[in-house]
Structure 1
Amino acid sequence: MNALPDRRLNAYRPDLAEEALQGTVTAVRYVAGVPARVAVPVAALRPRPDEAAGIDTQVLFGEDVRVLDRADGWAWVKSDFDGYVGYLPEPALDASATSATHVVAVPRTFVYTGADLRTPAAFSLSIGSRLTVVGESETRGTRYLTLEGGQSVVAGHCLPIGVAASDDYVCVAARFLETPYLWGGRSGFGLDCSALVQLSMMMTGRSVPRDSDMQAASLGTPVAREELRRGDLVFWKGHVAIMEDERTILHANGHTMSVAREPLATAIERTGYLYQEPTGYRRPV
């Protein structure tokens, strides 16, 4: 009997499935989905339409999704960014058809009600959030981008879509130091181990899978522990860390409950009771 497709990346239920799965899974009907955009700073994707359900991952302001179903105040969606499937509250979505022009390129920033840092902050945004810019201005030497909603964001905190923030994803990852750990988190407000890898690489122009097992199966090539260097990845079952140099890792972890730096040898010894030895080392190329 063939195994069912990974539910994290494939949308299917007995009553409904995404069109691409026709012939692979059985459902009453198949749909292509309707485009929508995330309209809140961060929205949790859950495995079922229930606030008590754990968070699988998150989608960010301005990211596009396909809505497969709406019911009882929930939307069942698939992310255009990394293909993740889940449920989020309907009010988190907007049907806007405008194209995003910029991306937030710093871990966190404020969106102001006016083009002046002295005006009230309307809300905060995470790195990776996508914005539609309609204008630009300068106040007391600081440049601001005007958003389609009329608010403003500091221009220096954003980049045009398609422009990399860095050519070294480890530098990007280090900017998250002391950011709180959050299971399923994928933002500058809180993130987990694999999101640190995904977000950091995203800001260098690379798209990678969301979860650590997906990353371990697809990123780069295997290397031996003695060959590790800056930028390599260390995988345990259910965990991933980034080599900052030949001996030190950066990782979002449940020990410090933050993104932290520690010697690889210390991490291996400390987590031995939980993870045993690392399951592999890989060099993203």
Structure 2
Amino acid sequence: MTSRDPRLHAFRADLADIRLEGQVEAQRFVAGQPARISVAVADVRSAPREDAGINTQFLFGDDVLVFERKEGFAWVQAKRDCYVGYVREAELGSDDAQQTHLVCVPRTFLYPGPDLRFPRAGCLSLGSALTIVGAAQTRGTDYALLADGSAVIARHLTPIDEVAPDYVAVAETLLGTPYLWGGMSGFGIDCSGLVQLAMRMSGHNVLRDSDMQAAGLGEMFDPGADYAKLKRGDLVFWKGHVAIMSNAKDMIHANGHTMTVAREGLAEAIARIGYLYGTPTGFRKP
């Protein structure tokens, strides 16, 4: 039996993905059933309990495979990045509608109809995938309509097949967003979540956690002692942390120091972080 990362492969002693049969040991193997996240943000937990830690989050419209539904929780795997965990069963819906658009701003409101004066019906994060069926205009504002009649500001969406040309520019729109361990949305995000979400909007699906990104995202390089060789978009890794270079001297990162997505000088960050986590462990060009 080969070693598998349980964050990326659905297996337990009692149950496993049928695609892993012969590769892992489990009492029973099942085929995952397709479903789709139906809430703005679904916390993905390490265990099927409300007090279990949050490892990541799935966004509205994310497609998943469901291996088990039990006592209000579902054990699932994301189709996009293969992440495995537990979500509330009530946060799942069907995946039969063809998605057409993505939310392209950090946060937007969902209205019960095409009028910004209506009480909001919900909020959606950057990266949420929607099925738009129509359009309307009220007092000069254009709206995109969903099948249930709800509406989103049209300029807050982009066609699902269009991608942002600069993933760093996407990350910069999230400056000031609160830091949240395991966060993956415009409402709260962590360091590797910032990298993943920004790159998702630029058309690149990358793995979720910073150790996964450090091991295989893009190409590793060594700038030596001359950090001036760093360029916009380069990634800097510490043990358990990642930052995005916005130019040769400055970086942006979701961090526990400011508890936000913040801009910081690389030299200042290296000096500040060093006493706890040492110097950078690697550099990569995505």
The TM-score with structure 1 as length reference comes to: 0.97
Deviations 1:6-57 (A, max 9, x none): 1100111111100121111111221121111111100000111011111000
1:220 aligns to what? 218
Q: Give the count of matched residue pairs.
A: 282
The aligned residue for residue 114 of structure 1 is: 113
Per-residue CA distance 1:115-155 (angstroms, 9 max, x = gap): 01111110000001111111111111111011012100011
- Residue 170 of structure 2 corresponds to 172
Q: Which amino acid aligns with 1:32?
A: A
The alignment partner of 1:144 has SS state of strand
Q: Which amino acid aligns with 1:36?
A: A
- Which residue, 246, 251, 254 being the options, matches 1:249? 251
Cα deviation 1:78-107 (Å, max 9, x = unaligned): 001111000011100012411211110111
Report the residue type matching 1:77 in the other structure: V
Q: Matches of 1:208 and 1:96 in 2, distance apart?
A: 22
Aligned AA for 1:220? G
Give me the whole-angstrom Cα distance separating, in 2, the residues matched to 1:37 and 1:3: 30
- Residue pairs, 1:28-177, within 5 angstroms: 28-164=27-163, 166-177=164-175
Find the partner of 1:181 among 179, 182, 190.
179
Contact residue 2 and residue 23 of structure 2 kept, 8 A:
no
Q: CA RMSD in A?
A: 1.0
Q: Which runs of 5 or more residues in structure 2 are unaligned?
A: none
2:110–2:124 Cα contact (<8 Å) kept: yes
Aligned partners of 1:96, 1:282: CA distance in 2, in Å? 35
Where 2:214 maps in the other structure, the secondary structure is helix
Contact 2:2/2:24, CA 8 A, preserved across alignment: no
Deviation at 1:214, TM superposition (A): 0.7
Taking the aligned partners of 1:254 and 1:204, their CA distance within structure 2 comes to 26
Instruction: Using the TM superposition, give the Cα deviation of residue 3 of structure 1 relative to its aligned residue in structure 2, in angstroms.
Output: 6.2
How far does residue 68 in structure 1 lie from its aligned partner after superposition?
Answer: 0.4
Aligned pair 1:21/2:20, yes or no? yes
Q: Percent identity?
A: 57
Tell me which of 234, 237, 254 is aligned to 2:236: 234
TM superposition score normalised by structure 2: 0.96
